[in-house]
Structure 1
């Protein structure tokens, strides 16, 4: 059962997101706290943490807030509605597949960038080694 509630500070620690970022995602409708304490504090569940982790993983890949919202909507609908008509389920799966393809493509681009950055760092290291005086 998903009934353990966490306050925003614990969620921030678990997701490595700032309180401000979590609040921003709430304001933009990407995540909604599952409950509020009697004192009005936001309370989150594991499902909410999972949702924030999806957002956190999408952000460095360049996905927009609208794209994050669209993917979360598709996955929410797939998770919630076992009675979806076949064509409705396929349409949602196609949306998720498109995000998977876009993520894979972006990961490949980042790998190329990382490789170039590593080559650059090696070039600088070699240059420093060639030009720096030998230390005993």
Structure 2
């Protein structure tokens, strides 16, 4: 973890990018690779319900447990929420569309999956453009 934090900060510095941009793109993608590999393996083995359980569990752990532990170790204040508005908006959009897709036919089709993927790509562009 220390190497990732160090490398990410050096990369941001070298390319004159904010740590937020590096965090929401490269670091987030890198830390999601085990999740992606797990989801691919689970779908190939026919464990579809495990996929949703893992995704929901991961979101709750990152949003509640990780943030809670960080706050216990070193309390922090968020004095300006504006840098997080794009991420919060896209998180809400992705969750709403995911719920809509799953509730509509109880599945996510290839087109819907591409749409969700597109939301992520658009999110990265929005983060880069509005910074």
Larger Cα-atom Rg = 1
Ranked by relative contact order (alpha carbons within 8 Å, sequence separation 6 or more), the top structure is 2
More helix by share: 2
TM-score, structure 1 as length reference: 0.28
TM-score, structure 2 as length reference: 0.29
More strand by share: 1
